[in-house]
């Protein structure tokens, strides 16, 4: 039987899935899944963070696997998305709970093309229903025995704008959530550097300026893709696991054929190319941002590319724990706005 209902922000990104419950430690789980059973065998009693889930008669593995490519526009309404969200909820300890969640869509998908302020209700509804549709647990991660979470409510927010809720909804001295009147009146730009996309959300006096908001298909996955290709070409290897590339990007080093190899220059060049594309879109949408009160960088890319983002604007900041900013905003929205 399901236990108490909990309210969560679930930022189901292309690179990681971030989960926040207000007042609890946030959790982050890699967004990786593929069709088929896991081929990993745990030795000496070790546990593996791998789920096996069946959706529409198809068997999927999620977690510490070499995942299928999810960097496509249809991912938010796909079985892979449903599998990854359920895996993340179990890995974060919410198996067996009734949960109310909010997830996100890139701004360019959340609003209809050319409609400026009109929501893409069809896509929003498809994403809402996709995650709440049936899924069957075959194998739980890390020997979890509470089963899957039951999603009893699912709201969808535009990414980037969710972080605005995180920015304006604060905690008072008594620990209660309150909306800051000062922050609500500000003109703010949120730059959300994610896995596949970078979102720009400009909010002035609580209104989204769609002319200066949008999304561009570039993010940290492009860094990983570039580094993978450069290593494979230079060292004539035919395959590299996701985990190996993760470590190469994080450390600038990789072990191949028994030798440690410095790939830091490859990583630097890949990051620089991504930053140039983000900078170009930033200049197109924001210019000097002279009329804005604050520019806030969020997302995992804000940490991975941090040194290259410095001094873009004199009034820029990086959010606290920027990788969780959207998920925090989603959780605050569900608790404070949507209740």
CA angle 155, 28, 230 (to 5 degrees): 115
Range of the domain at 94: 3-158
Assess whether pLDDT exceeds 90 at residue 205. no
Task: Tell which of 113, 136, 158 closes a domain.
Answer: 158
Between 47 and 73, whose confidence is greater? Answer: 73
Looking at residue 259, which CATH number applies to its domain? 3.30.420.40
Report residue 284: phi and psi, to 5°. Answer: -65, -40
CA 276, chain centre distance (Å)? 21
Q: Is the pLDDT of residue 16 over 60?
A: yes
Say how many domains are in the chain: 2
pTM of the predicted model as reported, rounded to 2 decimal places: 0.90
In a domain, 163, yes or no: no
pLDDT at 143: 56
Q: Are residues 133 and 239 in the same domain?
A: no
CA dist 51 and 41 (Å) reads: 13
12 and 145 co-located in one domain:
yes
More confident residue, 102 or 207: 102
Tens-digit pLDDT profile for residues 217-241: 999 999 999 999 999 999 999 889 8
């Amino acid at each position: 039987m399901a236990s108490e209902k909990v309210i969560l922000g679930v930022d189901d990104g292309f690179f990681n899935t971030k989960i926040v419950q207000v007042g609890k430690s946030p959790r982050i789980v890699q967004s990786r899944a593929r069709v088929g059973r896991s081929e990993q065998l745990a030795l000496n009693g070790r546990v593996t963070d791998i789920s096996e889930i069946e959706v529409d008669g198809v068997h999927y593995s999620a977690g510490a696997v070499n995942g299928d490519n999810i960097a496509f526009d249809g991912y938010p309404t796909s079985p892979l998305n449903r599998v990854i969200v359920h895996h993340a909820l179990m890995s974060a300890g919410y198996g067996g709970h009734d949960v109310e969640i909010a997830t996100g869509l890139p701004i360019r998908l959340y609003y209809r093309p050319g409609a400026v302020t009109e929501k893409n209700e069809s896509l929003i509804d498809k994403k809402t229903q996709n995650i709440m549709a049936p899924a069957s647990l075959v194998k739980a991660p890390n020997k979890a025995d509470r089963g899957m979470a039951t999603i009893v409510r699912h709201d969808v927010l535009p990414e980037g704008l969710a972080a605005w809720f995180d920015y304006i909804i604060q905690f008072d001295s008594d620990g209660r959530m309150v909306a800051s009147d000062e922050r609500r009146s500000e003109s703010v730009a949120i730059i959300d550097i994610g896995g596949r996309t970078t979102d720009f959300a400009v909010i002035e006096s609580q209104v989204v300026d769609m002319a200066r908001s949008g999304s561009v298909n570039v993010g940290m996955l492009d860094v990983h893709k570039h580094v993978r290709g450069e290593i494979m070409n230079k060292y004539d290897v035919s395959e590299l696991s996701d985990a190996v590339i993760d470590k190469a990007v994080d450390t600038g080093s990789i072990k191949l054929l028994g030798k440690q190899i410095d790939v830091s220059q490859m990583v630097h060049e890949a990051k620089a190319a991504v930053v140039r594309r983000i900078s170009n879109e930033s200049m197109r949408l924001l210019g000097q941002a002279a009329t804005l009160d604050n520019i806030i960088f969020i997302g995992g890319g804000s940490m991975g590319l941090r040194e290259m983002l410095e001094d873009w604007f004199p009034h820029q900041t990086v959010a606290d724990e920027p990788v969780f900013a959207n998920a925090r905003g989603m959780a605050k929205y569900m608790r404070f706005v949507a209740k």
